[in-house]
Amino acid sequence: MRNCDETRQWLDAYLDNELDPVNTLEIEQHLQTCPACSQAYEELRALGAALSTVPRYPTPAALRERIHSALLGEASAEAQTIPFAPAARPSWRWVTALAARRIRFLLGFFIFIFRILGWEFGRSAIGISTLLFYRQL
């Protein structure tokens, strides 16, 4: 069973429904048997209820409109800056252009190898180059 001091200490949290079930139950039990704490809680509850009825300050309609147009301006300013932003991944057109250049270079290279060093050496050169090519891509 709680005493009055302990109960008063947690009265605000009890009012705000912020206590766990065990503490809530203990406060409830104390309030049922203690008129002084019960009265203190009643005052607190009345104050809380009165505070909740104080009207909020209404948002001016002009502010809402100003924010809306400021956001539109901000969004379109950002949209305009996007073409200059660095691309996260290279585009496929760029990748194929690079691949085509490499393939042309490699073809020339293999013809050179075949002519100078013959078939056996050329075949292993193709294997190694293909491997390197895919790893780079």
Binding stretches for other proteins (CB under 8 A): 11-13, 16, 18, 39, 42-44, 46-48, 50-60, 63-64, 66-67, 70-72, 74-76, 78-79, 82
Amino acid making up residue 65: E
Nearer to other proteins, 64 or 89 (CB): 64
Q: Using CB atoms within 10 A of its CB, is residue 74 exposed (0-12), middle (13-18) or buried (19+)?
A: exposed
The neighbour count for residue 31, using CB atoms within 10 Å, is 19
Nearer to other proteins, 54 or 116 (CB): 54
Nearer to other proteins, 21 or 58 (CB): 58
Which tokens go with 33?
């048997």
CB of 10 to other proteins, least distance (A): 9
Q: Phi first, then psi: give them for residue 132, nearest 5 degrees.
A: -60, -40
